[in-house]
Amino acid sequence: MKKNKNIILVTLGFVAAIIFITIVLGISSGIIAKKIQSIVPVNIVELKEKYLPPIIREDINEIVIHNASFFINKYNQEIGNRTLTERIIIISLEEKVPINIAIATAFVESNYNPLFNKNKKIINNDDSIDQGVMGQNNRSFPKVDPFDLEKHLRATITYLRGKYEKYNSWEQAIIFYNCGSEARLGIDALNHLDRILEKEKKLDILFVSYFNELRGIE
């Protein structure tokens, strides 16, 4: 009986030591590392079913800041334009806009085309015109050349950040980036939100695969 008690005490001590080490390692790893490591590596099907992009939007930016060249190279495989990829990521990081929201916006607005609607053939219902890779509206940005990539990206991404600061919600920021104001809110803006969030989720899945590669995980 005494031997069994000793075994139990040793076992409990071992478990307590493991718990203590786990807590110490968890604290030292930081919030970002804990969140990311809790979802990767992971089965891609499970990821699609369980992963919620808003949970780690800011964490994604933080990781990309410290590995910018790596992620620019990787996202360029999706975008297919090195200059556009670099500038949209760098400006998004500078303006504190989640990079996958900015990239998703560029995809939905123009399919990553910096010369989108240059011939002005696509006209909105209110007779305004959206141009450039981020769908810059000529009434919202009357003095910004939509085909000057640097000025265009800076203006539109800053505008998106401004909408977030006003509404404290990236979903609402996306909606009002599209429609401009509450007075113009309608089904088109909500459908636009759905398309961007759908693309953002796909980009987040890509990010996880890139992050796994960065960490040397197959």
Q: Are residues 50 and 20 in the same domain?
A: no
Do 104 and 89 form a contact (C-beta atoms < 8 A)?
A: no
> Rounded distance, CA 52 to CA 141, Å?
33
Q: Are residues 19 and 49 in the same domain?
A: no
Q: Are residues 1 and 84 in the same domain?
A: no
Q: Which domain holds residue 187?
A: 44-214
Q: Are residues 122 and 189 in the same domain?
A: yes
Q: Are residues 2 and 60 in the same domain?
A: no
> Rounded distance, CA 94 to CA 73, Å?
18
Q: Are residues 88 and 126 in the same domain?
A: yes
Task: Show the DSSP H helices in the chain as ranges.
Answer: 2-37, 44-50, 57-66, 68-79, 82-95, 99-110, 149-167, 170-179, 187-214
Q: Are residues 67 and 169 in the same domain?
A: yes
Give a yes or no: residue 104 inside a domain.
yes
Backbone angles phi, psi at 137, to 5 degrees: -85, 135
The number of domains in the chain is: 2
Strand partners, 130: 137
168 Cβ contact partners less than 8 Å away, ≥ 6 residues apart: none
User: How many other CB atoms are there within 10 angstroms of residue 48's CB atom?
Assistant: 11
Give a yes or no: residue 86 inside a domain.
yes
Q: Are residues 24 and 128 in the same domain?
A: no
Q: What is the pLDDT along the chain (218 residues), one digit of tens a residue?
A: 544 444 444 343 433 443 333 333 343 334 433 433 443 333 444 444 444 444 578 889 999 999 999 999 999 999 999 999 999 999 999 999 999 999 999 999 999 999 998 988 888 887 888 899 999 998 889 999 999 999 999 999 999 999 999 999 999 999 999 887 776 777 888 899 999 999 999 999 999 999 999 988 65
> Rounded distance, CA 160 to CA 134, Å?
10
How far apart are the two ends of the chain, measured CA to CA in Å? 49
**3-class DSSP state for residue 141?**
coil
